[in-house]
């Protein structure tokens, strides 16, 4: 994490800089003697964490932090305990009282690092859709179904019927049609009704309210008219 330290006392700045060297993941970007200097740094540097004194001539640490439109994380370090409530109302990471023991300083840094990691944790990757098949539970078995086998899918509340080419009896599986739709390739399967998904490869014709798939017709509703246009490439 990239950090700046702000304190009007040179000795305090030096001590902070020394303590920061004890934390490998913290990088000191700048040491500032005033809020004005810190503002100049923030205009040109990306900063993740500010260590800030409160009682400083001119603009106080509280006033400075309140003035920031986009606030990095903040740890106040001050000799004045009476500002603690004001500090926490600004949602700061921690509030340290001088002189700060190294152990207490490291604890505050670890808290900031944990918050930083939580905020920047990469989103879990969405499960990759299988290119040519899926697995569903049916008759107490996990059954592999090739995409190309499916002519259409019929939703029945918490169940679906998978109708397959060359198979007279549909496969019944306990899964919602929405959950199953998310596992299917969007360029091959189209939701044409709240209870139906069709495989484009088996569509023979489309007329008002009906889609013909081989020897069966399934409905579509006006709510899915745009889907029909995407499916056929024609305004319908």
Q: Residue 87's pLDDT is what?
A: 62
Is there a shared CATH topology between the 2-119 domain and the 133-232 domain? no
169-179 per-residue burial string, b: 16 or more CB within 10 A, e: under 16 = ebbebebebee
Q: How do residues 60-97 score in pLDDT, each as one tens digit?
A: 999 999 999 888 999 999 887 777 666 667 888 999 99
Name residues whose C-beta falls within 8 Å of residue 122's C-beta, 6 or more positions apart in sequence: none
Q: What is the pLDDT of residue 77?
A: 92
**How do residues 122-168 score in pLDDT, each as one tens digit?**
655 445 555 789 998 887 788 999 999 999 999 988 899 999 998 98
Domain boundaries, the chain: 2-119, 133-232
**DSSP secondary structure of 66-77:** HH-SS--EEEEE
Answer whether residue 42 shows pLDDT above 60. Answer: yes
Distance CA 27, CA 20 (A): 8
Question: What is the per-residue pLDDT across 178-213, written as a single tens digit (0 to 9) for each?
Answer: 999 999 998 899 998 999 999 999 999 988 889 999
Q: pLDDT value at position 209? A: 85
| Confidence at residue 104, expressed as pLDDT on a 0 to 100 scale | 94
- Going by DSSP bridges, is the β-strand pair 210-213/203-207 parallel, antiparallel, or unpaired? antiparallel
Distance (Å, whole) CA 211 – CA 196 = 11
- Correct CATH for 133-232 of 2.40.50.1020, 3.40.50.1860, 3.40.50.2300, 3.20.20.70: 2.40.50.1020
What CATH number has the domain spanning 2-119? 3.40.50.2300
């Amino acid at each position: 994490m990239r950090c700046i330290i702000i304190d009007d006392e040179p000795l305090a700045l030096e001590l902070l800089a020394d303590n920061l060297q004890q934390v490998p993941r913290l990088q000191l970007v700048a040491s500032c003697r005033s809020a004005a200097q810190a503002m100049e740094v923030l205009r040109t540097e990306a900063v993740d964490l500010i260590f800030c004194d409160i009682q400083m001539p001119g603009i106080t640490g509280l006033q400075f932090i309140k003035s920031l439109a986009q606030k990095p994380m903040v740890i106040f370090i001050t000799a004045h305990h009476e500002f603690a409530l004001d500090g926490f109302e600004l949602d700061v990471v921690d509030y340290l009282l001088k002189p700060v023991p190294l152990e207490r300083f490291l604890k505050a840094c670890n808290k900031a690092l944990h918050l930083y990691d939580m905020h920047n944790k990469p989103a879990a990757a969405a499960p990759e859709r299988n290119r040519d098949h899926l697995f569903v539970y049916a008759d107490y078995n996990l059954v592999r179904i090739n995409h190309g086998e499916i002519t259409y899918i019929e939703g029945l509340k918490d169940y679906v019927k998978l109708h397959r080419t060359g198979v007279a009896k549909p496969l019944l599986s306990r899964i919602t049609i929405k959950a199953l739709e998310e596992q299917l390739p969007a360029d091959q399967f189209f939701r044409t009704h709240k209870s139906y998904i069709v495989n484009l490869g088996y569509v023979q014709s489309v007329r008002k309210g009906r889609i013909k798939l081989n020897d069966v017709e399934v409905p579509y509703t006006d709510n899915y008219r745009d889907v029909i246009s995407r499916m056929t490439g024609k305004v319908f």
